[in-house]
């Protein structure tokens, strides 16, 4: 017996203003989340992203092709009720941030890390009033408490929808600082993704690419860029 699949049952997906923001209707029926809550998002731009995903579906629904819909569902069904816990999980990255741990050698990699990451460290020091401590090697050392407090304060100000996107930006890049820099428009999402990949790209240059690893990396990059698109669709 073949596996059960859900087939397309609608003709049109439209953005509709509603109480609390905007929703997407399928042939006039408003979308709901998996937990049966109304799928209401804060901006028309985000609702349009979601509507585009539903319009683009073929005869069989592919949930993997609907990242904005999945993220909105998560924001409503999960993150909204657990903001403090999600904030704590995310800000823990700041105490062992990717860009604060540098290679000891070779010199070419040391220079490449410095070129990519020092501007981000400078940005962080300026924005959060405390300069991150840079270390060589992989042994953990704590960051200044005031820096972590200031980083957490910015994360805590995010809405449930913003926090949902931000979680994936941090998880995919491995860096709280890179994700915060993206929110501040320090550089393009593509450039900040590249900054998160300095060490991995170096290893590929030295030893060659692994097909399975390349697929995983492509998936992570897509998730990072999709999360950036979701976040910016929330902005006025």
Instruction: Give the tens place of pLDDT for each residue, 25-70.
Output: 999 999 999 999 999 999 999 999 999 999 999 989 898 999 999 9
**Superfamily in which the 13-63 domain is placed by CATH:** ATP12-like (3.30.2180.10)
Going through 65-156 in order, the beta strands assigned E by DSSP cover: 101-102, 135-136
Per CATH, domain 81-233 is 1.10.10.10:
no
Distances (CA, A) of 40 to 26, 81, 137: 14, 16, 46
Q: Give me the percent of the chain exceeding a pLDDT of 90.
A: 89
Q: Is the peptide bond between 106 and the residue preceding it cis, with omega within 30 degrees of 0?
A: yes
State the Cα–Cα distance between residues 218 and 233, nearest whole angstrom: 22
Q: Answer for the pair 96, 151: CB distance below 8 angstroms, yes or no.
A: no
Do 81-233 and 13-63 have the same topology in CATH? no
Q: Token pair 């937990």 is at which residue?
A: 35
Reported for 121-129, long-range contacts at CB under 8 A and 24+ positions apart, including other chains, are: 121/177, 123/181, 123/184, 123/186, 124/177, 124/180, 124/181, 127/180, 127/184, 128/154
Single out the residue of 199, 102, 90 nearest to residue 141, CA to CA.
Answer: 102
Q: Answer for the pair 133, 141: CB distance below 8 angstroms, yes or no.
A: yes
Helix (H) or strand (E) holding 187: none
For residue range 133-189, what is the model confidence (pLDDT) as tens digits?
A: 999 988 999 999 999 999 999 999 999 999 999 999 999 999 999 999 999 999 999
pLDDT at 71 exceeding the cut of 70: yes
Angle at 222 between CA 14 and CA 126, to 5 degrees: 105
Radius of gyration of the chain measured on its C-alpha atoms: 20
Domain extent listing, the chain: 13-63, 81-233
Per-residue pLDDT, 213: 86
Per-residue pLDDT, 184: 98
Backbone angles phi, psi at 209, to 5 degrees: -95, 150
């Amino acid at each position: 017996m073949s596996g059960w699949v859900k087939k397309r049952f609608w003709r049109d997906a439209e953005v509709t203003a509603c109480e609390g923001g905007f929703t997407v209707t399928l042939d006039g029926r408003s979308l709901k989340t998996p937990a049966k809550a109304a799928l209401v998002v804060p901006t028309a731009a985000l609702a349009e992203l979601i509507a585009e995903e539903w319009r683009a579906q073929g005869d069989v629904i592919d949930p993997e092709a609907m990242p904005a819909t999945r993220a909105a569902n998560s924001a409503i069904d999960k993150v909204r009720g657990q903001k403090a816990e999600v904030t704590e999980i995310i800000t823990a990255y700041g105490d062992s941030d990717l860009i604060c741990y540098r290679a000891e050698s070779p010199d070419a990699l040391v220079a490449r890390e410095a070129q990519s990451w020092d501007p981000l460290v400078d940005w962080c020091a300026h924005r959060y009033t405390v300069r991150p401590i840079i270390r060589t090697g992989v042994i953990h050392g704590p960051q200044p408490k005031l820096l972590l407090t200031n980083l957490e304060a910015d994360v805590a100000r995010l809405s449930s929808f913003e926090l949902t996107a931000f979680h994936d930006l941090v998880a995919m890049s491995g860096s709280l600082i890179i994700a915060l820099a993206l929110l501040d428009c320090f550089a393009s999402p593509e450039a900040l993704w590249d900054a998160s990949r300095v060490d991995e790209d170096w290893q590929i240059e030295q030893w060659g690419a692994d097909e399975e690893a390349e697929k995983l990396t492509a998936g992570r990059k897509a998730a990072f860029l999709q999360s950036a698109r979701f976040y910016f669709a929330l902005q006025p």
